[in-house]
Amino acid sequence: MDDFFTLPEGFLWGASTSAHQIEGSNTGSDWWAFEQAGLTDRIEEPSGDACDSFHRWPEDMDLLAGLGFTDYRFSIEWARIEPSPGRFSSEAVAHYRRMVEGARERGLRPMVTLHHFTAPLWFTERGGWAAPDSGDLFARYVEAAAPVYGEGVDHICTINEPNMVAVMAAALRTLTAGGSLPATSLPLPDEAATEGLVRAHRRAVDTVKSYAPHVRTGWSVANQACRPEPGCEEQAAAYLHPRVSVFLEAARGDDWLGLQAYTRTRIGPSGPLPIPQDAERTLTGWEYDPQALGAALRHTAATVPGTPLIVTENGIATADDDRRIAYTTGALADLAEAMAEGVDVQGYFHWSALDNYEWGSYRPTFGLIAVDRKTFVRTPKPSAAWLGAIGRTRVLPTASS
């Protein structure tokens, strides 16, 4: 392979955020309620004002555009748009519409995510995704949000990491029944929630297409980048099937499929293996593994051949920005190699644009841009300028660079 790889014209080059993690004061969502109740000891602190991006989104977009990014993935908040069943906020819809227009004015192509982990509290209290009519309720919200995405939006992600949403449903069932979660593992995705999420995705795709046929729709799956030990390929496939593969397979026929990768899961004869004691870990406790992205791309492409892929999240929680650049350099080299092999990748979004609320704590810093927790002052890190510059040159590092 050459010492450089040039991205094709039109390749999406951006950073990602989610509404609850950056907006602040999302008081109508189920996650806000979980935080206030201290539902699990994994919630170290509440989200509070987050990054105050509900008000400061123009500054966030100005920074990304100025750094060289051409795309911005952000989510709209269901709990703000439909704060009570069947009652919709015109102000919230207008707010998110202004964000779409603001992105376009700055030369950023918006990718809009319709659901990023959080739902209205009323939706979760009545059964969430496992409820028989969850797909109908989600479609009703997507219809109400049509003014947001009807013009100026080319890509919509219906649901972010549905496999993790189904895991959360299983965890919530355990916690509300008085049980506790193991410290080092997560439950299997809830089967009823899995079925409900697949139905909701299909209903959302149909709804979006009915209002905006031009919009390219898909959803984003957390691919766990399994690395089987020799002879453990069957165990890896069995491990991945309910956790990842069923969600990838549900995307057959979609315009695109998003994948999100951060670290690897090593699989032995009896299942997942512990992280080696001498391995470098990130602030989330995950193993430092830039090659997870390449493994996830190849697995996803093999599972759903012919479906275009978009990397909707990839990044590292670290306080050392040099390690962020090193990690991302390795991940992008693997991305370039996979594309050179023929994997159809149409975009890359780094997680995250901002240091933000990471579902229980502000301690893991994934951001390209630091945010002062008291003043909300934004300070781009060297990694932001480095990664943004690739958006201008469209030249990726490679393993031989």
Bond into 84 cis (ω within 30):
no
pLDDT at site 173:
87
pLDDT band at 94 (very low <50, low <70, confident <90, very high): very high
The CATH number assigned to the domain with range 4-397 reads 3.20.20.80
Burial of 125 (0-12, 13-18, 19+ CB in 10 A): exposed
First-last CA distance in the chain = 10
Separation between Cα atoms, residue 61 and residue 68, nearest integer Å? 11
pLDDT band at 49 (very low <50, low <70, confident <90, very high): very high
The DSSP string of 68-89 is T--EEEEE--HHHH-SBTTB--
CA distances from 84 to 27, 49, 117, 119 (A): 12, 22, 18, 11
Q: Which helix H or strand E contains 198, and what residues bound it? A: helix 191-211
231: tokens are 């002879």
Q: In the annotation, is 191 catalytic?
A: no
pLDDT at site 126:
97
pLDDT for residue 377 is more than 70: yes
228: tokens are 């089987």
Kindly report whether the global pTM for this prediction surpasses the value 0.95. Answer: yes
- Residue pair 75/68 in contact (Cβ under 8 Å)? The answer is no
341: tokens are 């092999």
Separation between Cα atoms, residue 11 and residue 396, nearest integer Å? 12
DSSP SS3 for 361:
coil
Among 35, 77, 161, 358, the one annotated catalytic: 161
Name residue 345's amino acid: V
pLDDT in tens, 199-255: 999 999 999 999 999 999 999 999 989 999 999 999 999 999 999 999 999 999 999
Neighbouring CB atoms inside 10 A of 392's CB total 12
27: tokens are 């008081």
DSSP SS3 for 44:
coil
- Residue 219 — φ and ψ, nearest 5°? -135, 170
Separation between Cα atoms, residue 29 and residue 41, nearest integer Å? 19
pLDDT at site 96:
99
What is the greatest pairwise CA distance in the chain? 57
Length of the chain: 401
Percent above pLDDT 90 for the chain: 92
Give the torsion through C-alpha atoms of 45, 46, 49, 52, to 10 deg.
80
Instruction: Report the mean per-residue pLDDT for the chain.
Output: 95
Residue 353: closest CA among 15, 12, 65? 15
> How confident is the model over 343-355, as a mean pLDDT?
98
pLDDT in tens, 96-111: 999 999 999 999 999 9
Instruction: Please give the sequence-ordered ranges of beta strands (E in DSSP) within 307-384, or none if there are none.
Output: 309-313, 345-351, 369-371, 378-380
Neighbouring CB atoms inside 10 A of 176's CB total 9
pLDDT in tens, 54-73: 999 999 999 999 999 999 99
pLDDT band at 181 (very low <50, low <70, confident <90, very high): confident
